[in-house]
Copies of this chain bind each other. A is one copy, B any other.
Amino acid sequence: MRVLVLAAGMGRRFGNSGRPKVLERLLGLPLLERVILTVREAGPSEFCVVVGHSNGEIINALGDGSRLGVRITYVNNEDWEKGNAYSVLAAKEVLNGDRFLLVMGDHQFDPEIIRRLVEIRISEGCVACVDRNLSSVFDVHEATKVLLEDGKVRDVGKNLGEFNAVDCGIFLCTSDVFSAVQECVARGQGELSHAIALLARQGKVRAMDVKGAFWFDVDTPGDLREAKRRILRALSKKEDGIVSKSINRRISTRISARLAGSGITPMQMSILSFLLGLLAVPFFSSGQYPFLFAGGMLIQLSSILDGCDGELARLKFRTTRRGGFLDSVLDRYADAFMIISLAYGYWRIAGGEFVWLACLLALSGSFAVSYTRARYEGVFGTGIRPGGIPATRDVRIFLLAVGAFVNQPLPALAVVGVMSNAEAIRRLIRWR
């Protein structure tokens, strides 16, 4: 399926920053590039970008799309000042007759919206993505309002008196959209929303609620800051543990935001996090207090950076299965090194056999928690349900780090061992 991207406007409300709005950088990437990469993540890879204002700069920046793994055809809209309906019309010949996606070059959204949208079968009119959760819309005043009735769009417009949703600027279209745009343009109505309203009054616009999925219209520098905040917030995962939620993600997302524009790859972050964990080994092995403290700092730092590889991959649209595999296996080895060196250091200083029992418990429990999760995903095809005893990696490492900080490695190992084995056994028994 081909994708029509409207990027001809000048972005008046954004003010004069010296470059076209769609090339403004958000977390390391130009807005327009993020739009294209978001759609590509959901599948489609053939793009038709309509340019007008600053067309040369945009074409220079994106090229033929091969750098982004897509194919881009450009259409020039000389009438860009008259409204975005003219941009749609300019692409009519290129998109001859097929169904196509229509997105705005300055909107940001969750690829999940596109994944669900392309599954819908239509033969006439279009499907408009709408957000019914008005309280989450950042700037309702500036939004295009939508009146829904029985899953269909009844009316669309910026100044609607009655409305129950907001237009997200993402459409699945048939060629009916071109006819409607043509009719509107003939009447002197230059905005795409006029054409959608026309189709809506003919009962030809279905609505798809985004159901809480992220989307954002970037019109002003303030919008850009808010979009950044929301994208970073969306980097947390619902399966994140309690330490991750309250400490690690807050720091790691800030680091990832800084690194998003750099050349550092997710895999380099995986390896850096692993090496920091290894660096703790000599400190832990010494068994001496001030060194233990330093080791604790190192493993907690490693745990924080362990979030950056995935975050960076998502921010750069470079998530790969291989990266996820590598990261998780390195984590298991880092876990083993931390636990064993902490036990060894304690044994060297204090002796006794009990520390080895605690070590073996912590080692097998840590592995078992990770193994049950991985195996569950492989067997059932879905993630294990959150809940149960908090023994995720963030919590386990935090407990070990605290144990090192207060010079009590043995209780820390014992607690990690008991909690993680208890959680693994819980998963084994209640495996629904």
Contacts and interface: CB of A to CB of B under 8 A. Distances in A.
Given A340-B360, A364-B363, A431-B326, A379 B333 contact: no
A405 interface: no
B329 A375 contact: yes
A367 B356 CA distance: 18
Contact of A371 (B356, B371, B380, B424): B371
Given A367-B371, A371-B370, A428 B329 contact: yes
B371 A326 contact: no
Nearest to A360: B340
Interface stretch (A2-10, A50-58, A302-310, A317-325): A317-325
Nearest to A429: B326
A329 B379 contact: no
A329 B424 contact: yes
A291 to B, nearest CB: 21
Contact of A374 (B333, B356, B378): B378
A287 to B, nearest CB: 15
Contact of A379 (B325, B336, B431): B325
Interface string A360-395: 100110011011101111111000000000000000
A145 to B, nearest CB: 43
A173 to B, nearest CB: 30
Contacts of A220: none
Interface in A346-370: 356, 360, 363-364, 367-368, 370
B330 A428 contact: yes
A210 to B, nearest CB: 28
A330 B372 CA distance: 10
B371 A321 contact: no
6 contacts: A329-B368, A329-B371, A329-B427, A363-B364, A375-B378, A377-B378
CB-based closest 8 A-B pairs:
A377-B378, A378-B378, A374-B374, A367-B367, A374-B375, A336-B364, A321-B379, A325-B379
Contacts of A428: 326, 329-330
B363 A332 contact: no
Contacts of A333: 364, 368
A328 interface: yes
A102 to B, nearest CB: 32
Nearest to A359: B360
A241 to B, nearest CB: 18
A290 B106 CA distance: 76
Interface in A386-424: 424
A360 B362 CA distance: 12
Contacts of A326: 428, 431
A431 B371 CA distance: 18
Contacts of A332: 367-368, 371
A365 to B, nearest CB: 10
Given A325-B376, A325-B379, 20 more contacts: A321-B379, A321-B380, A325-B380, A326-B431, A328-B375, A329-B375, A329-B424, A330-B428, A332-B371, A333-B364, A336-B364, A363-B364, A364-B367, A367-B367, A367-B371, A370-B371, A371-B371, A374-B375, A375-B378, A378-B378
A70 to B, nearest CB: 24
Contacts of A321: 379-380
Contacts of A424: 329
Contacts of A322: 431
Contacts of A328: 375, 379
A336 B372 CA distance: 15
Contacts of A367: 332, 364, 367, 371
Nearest to A375: B374
Contacts of A363: 360, 363-364
Nearest to A376: B325
Contacts of A356: 356
Given A356-B356, A363-B364, A329 B372 contact: yes
A217 to B, nearest CB: 35
